[in-house]
Structure 1
Amino acid sequence: MPYDGSSSWDVLAGIKKFEQDYEQYDAKNASSAAFAHADGDLPNDRLTRLYNYLINVSIATRWAIFIVPILIAIWIPGVLSFTKFPEAEVWGIRLLWWSIWLSVVWLGWWASLAVALIVPYILRKTVGIMAVGTRQYIDWFAALYRYVALFTWCLAMWVSFAPLIGSKQDAVVGGNSPKIISLIQKLLFALFLCAGLLLFEKFSIQWIAWKFHELSYADRIAQQKFAVKVLVTLYRYSSNILGRSDTLNATNATTSQPLQLRRIFKEALKGVRIAATSTTTAFGNVASEITGTSVLQPDSPAAMIAVESANKSRLLARRLFYSFVKPGATGLYMEDIAKYFPSQHAAHAAFALFDKDANGDVTRDEMEAACVEIHREQLSLERSMSDMDSAVGRLDNLLMSLYVVIAALIIAVALQAQLATLITGFGTLLLGLSWLIGGSLQEVLTCIIFLFVKHPFDVGDRITILTNTYTVKEILLLSTVFLDAQGCIVQAPNVILNTSYIQNMRRSEEMSEPFPFDVAYDTSFEQLEALRDKMLEFLKTEKRDFLPAFDVVVADFPNQETLSLKVDIKYKSNWQQGALKAKRRNKWICALKISLAEVKIFGPKGNPNAVATPERRTLVPWDEVKAKEEVALREESTKLKTPTGGWQLLDKNTFISKHLHCSSF
């Protein structure tokens, strides 16, 4: 638009636009939740709307509103020192110097906060690009920006106090003024030491959290980095499949560079704000850390394969599949991609990433399943690493309690208290309370060693304790929260877990399961070998789920009635996914049932489908049976029941009187 020589109209237009903006401002739509208000909570006058508009329009106006009024109040004594009270002093120092030093104090905090916010972003875009290993330390700096600002602020107050206040004191001032200034300077030095100690404590927590997560996720991150490297290599040499809309290309993969940079910047600031409320490490976006998308061009291979949904992972898989598969072939073979890798070993490892069943070819479905699995593992790592760990937070609370005691001792020494007296009194107090807190301290120390040294499990791991299987839900300092198979929450003290045998399924490699069963006693060795051959044929077709091994062991033959056999179900992965393990187990058992039937091996009761043998019976005519019964009845009735010789037909009284008569002689 050409310039018309009347700039006043532009100024008036700007004023009108500004007035319309703050008149239409709604407190419900504030840029920060801290400044949002519902209808009716604030007065509806023009001044209130102007104030809320200014603190939300930008960080510059918000900080100006916070800084300027206090700065004006600080300079009131300084102005009075120039005008009406040029000789006014406080502890032998003119008011002007007090205003200058207080301005340094007030502005120093905001300057330290601004530097602590801006420096990590600058370092990430400069040093972080050239030295990738420094990114984690830059993230630590960003997470601890408030403590860094506090440390630099205390340093600025202590350093500026001597030249601005201490050296400006009147030499002839009397009383306690020199002692007061000296005491203030010592107190500022003590605050500087306390701020440094606090920063060291927070940095130690960051390091502990980093080591904690490094031990937990190092293997998974290494595997994920290798998978991403393979995808980047294949995508670099892939082709844009013309005429196909179901493959990944530049139009459906990433957004424009400004939008991507803006999103990354917002995510970084959001991560900083969240990390400021906690003392554990904000690890940020793990996908960005693994692939480097925050420092790469949006059209680079590494940025293109960093897809954000499972659907785009399938599009990526189809592009890779159709780019390298030979015309007319239904599968991808290792020789199709081997030339794109530096060695034959690297090509084998890359091909095994997609050929899960190890049958020598990769179908489109297998390629899609592998890419989706890589995408899900990337999201899982991102959620796990960015989650604030409860155990580290509890440890920080414990260290903060110790910090408060040490900080109190530092300030007491700065106030010219006797250090030996303080330590003696504090030691006496601890000795007196040892009977009360000794057991608790021992438990805390045991739990710290259990979590950060032994570290037997992570959140999400599927573990077995004794005979029960649980999923780790939350790790606390003194206890751990589990979910059992029924979904019930179980909380167990870490002191008890420290002495228990814990089986971790996620950290295990290929696992196996014994499967005992009984067969008929007449089962021969040849039948067992035939069963082994049948099962090996099945296992070779299911290489993705099982190892090709099947060994039959005759454990016992109790009472020579049955044969007790035992075999191992050798899975090709661990049991972290319970549903997948159950599905594979059912498949294996059904295959065993079919193989047993084919080789004629039956249970102890024999063939359940055998035809029953005929039952022999003799039929007798009823007339013959009836005639025999009548003859037997007549013979029974003709028998006479008369007494035989040797019977004594005398009653009891006759027997007694006879004996009495004989005894009278």
Structure 2
Amino acid sequence: MSSTPMSEEGPNMPRPQPHRRPTSQRNPSWDLLGGFKRFEHEYEEFDTRHASENHLAFAEGDIPQNRASKLYHYLLNVSIVTRWFLFIVPVLGILWIPAILQLTTFPHAEVWAVPLLWWSIWLSVVWGGWWGSLAVARILPSIIRSTVGVIAVSTRKYIDWAGALHRYVALFAWTLGIWVSWNPLVDNRQRDDASDKSRHIIDLIGKLLFGFYLCAAVLLFEKFSIQWIAGKFHERSYAERIADQKFAVRSLVTLYRNSSDIPGRSDTLKAADAKQNGVKILKRAMKGVRDAATTTTTALGNVASEIAGSSVLQPNSPQAMVKTALESANKSRLLARRLFYSFVRPGHEYLFPDDIARFFPTREEADKVFGLFDRDGNGDASRNEIELACMDFHREQLSIEHSMQDLDSAVGRLDNIFMSLYVIIAALIIAVCLEAQFTNLVASAGTLVLGLSWLIGGSLTEVLTSIIFLFIKHPFDVGDRIILEEEGYTVKEIRLLSTILLNDKGAYVQAPNSELSTMFIQNIRRSPPMSETFTFDVGFDTNFDHLETLRSKMLQFLSDNRRDYLYAFDVSVVDFPEQEKITLSADIKYKSNWQQGALKAKRRNKWICALKEALVDIGIFGPQGDPDKPAAPIKYTEVPWDEVKKQSKTVKHVSMPAPPGGWHLSDQNPGMHDSSDNVFDDTNELHLTTPVAGYVPPTQHAGDGSMTSEVSMPPGLPTTMPSVVTMPSHPEASSGDYFEMTTRR
């Protein structure tokens, strides 16, 4: 019986696998050597031109390119933690060198009878306290807003102020910390047998630290005062306007989200119209956030986010499309037409509230949104009304943004003025802390104030008047049309001490705010629907029935144009001078103010033309009667030709040939003879008809001893400048024709 040899592993044992190189089961990220190599590669390839912060960016070649420099700048840009680590730790190491020397080599080393160990501890508190205060001041407002701000909503604005002023809050906390830590860490560690000089120096440093703390407190109060002024002014002047604009933009976003692209029309807003500006919007929004974190007037800095909301992130989102459209007058009209054609019923020319009611949660909100377009309140909205509404939103958004920017600039200048006063107050605080005589200090300060009041008292009065005018009265904003002393202007720019205006002729006018504060200012933009009186003359034969018929026709015109005018017309008899004519007047009652000058002119012309047509239809004409009436016959007398011929022979004609060189009846440079508005040239030079090379007006002594100046003329030119030509009264008595010159007086 034969047998087959069996394998040692048996038939059920697994077969041996081919030999493979053992691999590590660790994640590659735990490979320290590989991680170090990657770290080394990253900092060697780091480009300082692409730094995370602007103040950390350097051009190529401006910094050393060795490994240490590259590593340092790379760590600065990794994160704020590594950056602060590089700022804090090396300096702390230097500050602890004296303590290490005392603990190791010089156990009795002292400065002003205080051991070096306590100096190192206190200096570490000073250095680390600043960074700790700064970190807490940056983090704490966010925590408080998420906790206390949720319950006490009214405290949010103060929390936002603290966040915007975190550096000043950190400075206040830091000066408080180093002053409080001075006594236990340094003052109390001084030896009892210290010299009087050492005690005096330690006490003086403590008083200076207390003075610095008071200066930081005053500085923080000044910054919060600026925030309070700006915030209160913002709430009073712009809060309502911003709320209305936010509601309008939110309504437009809702309507645009539910609108549709209109095929076959090129006059509606499309995605391509706003796509190119999407990235700009994002960059502008991010820039606004960064600016809001650094400016001292944060309440006024983020107007774009206040109006458009914080969801403008995607370039093609409805919010971004509407925001982009409202930045341009043309795109605002495109947006209006897209909304109109998307929701208007087929075959209709007007939009009704029911057409958009389904896009809003309640009927009340839908009616409120429709009221944005239905300015006349007649229950429908035409395409022109929607376009005018979108144009108003466009102008309002630009007006708010520019007004807030100018106000931010004005607040900045006010902050500079307050900082000048702060420097004086801080100097007085430091002087008191240095044990200066209080009476002498008050006397010196009083003398300084008295001298300044004489020197710059007028300027300080102007500044105070301008501050009251700008922040309390505030009669206009940027873009408002105003009337000053019967002259129309448009506000171009608002500054702290002056306002730049644009008059009707296109010229810029700089008006001091102190002068504007004493004037009567008519603000057209803030005015309700306005009216004007139109006066015209009619024939004396016009009777009462004519006037009543005129009133009926004009009321019919106003009914047909109810979107432009109020339904009111009354004609009044003003006067009938010498019974030759009747002077009538009527009021043009618009449904809007005159902020848009072109729209007002169009409606005024339309009203006057309708009045003219009504007068013609009724048969009311001017004092001269019907201009189309055939002219009356003209009577004339015929004179025999023989009599005319005989009379012409008896008239003697005087021959007046021109003198040599021709007549000089007028000056060739009359505009140069007026010296009243020329303060740079000599008076005699202005009377030269032609320029003379090398002309020097000599000075001679007159008979009375005074100095007189005469014009020295080259040969051939008259010594007396002609201005008036006098013709001889009897030319026939002379042997030849002549003319005579008289000097202009």
TM-score category of the 2 structures, normalised to the smaller one:
0.7 to 0.9
Q: Secondary structure at the match of 1:283?
A: helix
Deviation at 1:530, TM superposition (A): 2.7
Cα RMSD of the aligned pairs, angstroms, is 4.3
Q: Secondary structure at the match of 2:196?
A: coil
Return the TM-score normalized by structure 2: 0.70
1:480 aligns with 2:508: no
Aligned to 2:619: 600
1:612-641 superposed Cα distances (whole Å, 9 cap, x missing partner): 355578999x9xx99x99xxxxxxxxxxxx
Aligned to 1:203: 224
Deviation at 1:191, TM superposition (A): 0.9
The correspondence for 2:421, drawn from 390, 402, 416, is 402
Over 3 Å counting, the alpha-carbon distance change for 1:5 and 1:146 in structure 2 is closer
Q: Identity over aligned residues, as a percent?
A: 59
Aligned to 1:504: 523
Q: Secondary structure at the match of 2:238?
A: helix
Deviation at 1:176, TM superposition (A): 2.2
Return the TM-score normalized by structure 1: 0.78
1:419 aligns with 2:438: yes
Deviation at 1:503, TM superposition (A): 1.3
The 10-residue stretch of structure 1 (284-293 or 102-111) with the greater mean CA deviation from structure 2: 284-293
Deviation at 1:204, TM superposition (A): 0.8
Counterpart residue type for residue 362 of structure 1? A
The 10-residue stretch of structure 1 (387-396 or 496-505) with the greater mean CA deviation from structure 2: 387-396
Over 3 Å counting, the alpha-carbon distance change for 1:595 and 1:261 in structure 2 is closer
Aligned to 2:71: 50
Q: Secondary structure at the match of 1:79?
A: helix
Q: Secondary structure at the match of 2:300?
A: coil
1:22-64 superposed Cα distances (whole Å, 9 cap, x missing partner): 3343333333333333344334444434333333343333333
Counterpart residue type for residue 111 of structure 2? V
Aligned to 2:674: none
CA distance in 1, matches of 2:457, 2:570: 55
CA distance in 1, matches of 2:620, 2:33: 99
1:269 aligns with 2:272: no
Verify the 8 A CA contact 1:292 1:302 in the aligned structure 2. no
Larger RCO (CA under 8 A, 6+ residues apart): 1
1:140-186 superposed Cα distances (whole Å, 9 cap, x missing partner): 22322221121111112112222222232223333322222222122
The correspondence for 1:283, drawn from 285, 294, 300, is 300
1:491-545 superposed Cα distances (whole Å, 9 cap, x missing partner): 2223322222211112211122222222333333333333322322222233333
Over 3 Å counting, the alpha-carbon distance change for 1:408 and 1:43 in structure 2 is same
Aligned to 2:481: 462
Q: Secondary structure at the match of 1:508?
A: coil
Over 3 Å counting, the alpha-carbon distance change for 1:601 and 1:58 in structure 2 is farther
Counterpart residue type for residue 181 of structure 1? I
Aligned to 1:471: 490
The correspondence for 1:521, drawn from 540, 547, 551, is 540
Verify the 8 A CA contact 1:506 1:576 in the aligned structure 2. yes
CA distance in 2, matches of 1:44, 1:54: 15
In the TM superposition, 1:25-44 aligns within 5 A as 25-44=46-65
The correspondence for 1:155, drawn from 126, 151, 176, is 176
Aligned to 2:16: none
The 10-residue stretch of structure 1 (390-399 or 123-132) with the greater mean CA deviation from structure 2: 123-132
CA distance in 1, matches of 2:59, 2:361: 63
Deviation at 1:465, TM superposition (A): 1.1
In the TM superposition, 1:345-356 aligns within 5 A as 349-356=368-375
Deviation at 1:206, TM superposition (A): 1.1
CA distance in 2, matches of 1:292, 1:120: 21
CA distance in 2, matches of 1:490, 1:88: 71
1:227-278 superposed Cα distances (whole Å, 9 cap, x missing partner): 467668x769x9687999999999x999xxxxx99997774334213x0xxx
In the TM superposition, 1:528-567 aligns within 5 A as 528-567=547-586
Aligned length: 611
CA distance in 2, matches of 1:315, 1:619: 72
1:164 aligns with 2:185: yes
Gaps of 5+ in 2: 1-22, 276-280, 645-745
Aligned to 2:682: none
CA distance in 2, matches of 1:494, 1:421: 39
Deviation at 1:281, TM superposition (A): 4.2
Aligned to 1:190: 211
Over 3 Å counting, the alpha-carbon distance change for 1:411 and 1:566 in structure 2 is same
CA distance in 2, matches of 1:542, 1:3: 87
Counterpart residue type for residue 42 of structure 1? I
Aligned to 2:88: 67
Deviation at 1:199, TM superposition (A): 0.7
CA distance in 2, matches of 1:571, 1:603: 26
Deviation at 1:415, TM superposition (A): 1.4
Verify the 8 A CA contact 2:262 2:338 in the aligned structure 1. no
Deviation at 1:362, TM superposition (A): 2.9
1:462-516 superposed Cα distances (whole Å, 9 cap, x missing partner): 2111122222233333332222223322222233222222111122111222222
Verify the 8 A CA contact 2:259 2:343 in the aligned structure 1. no
Aligned to 2:463: 444
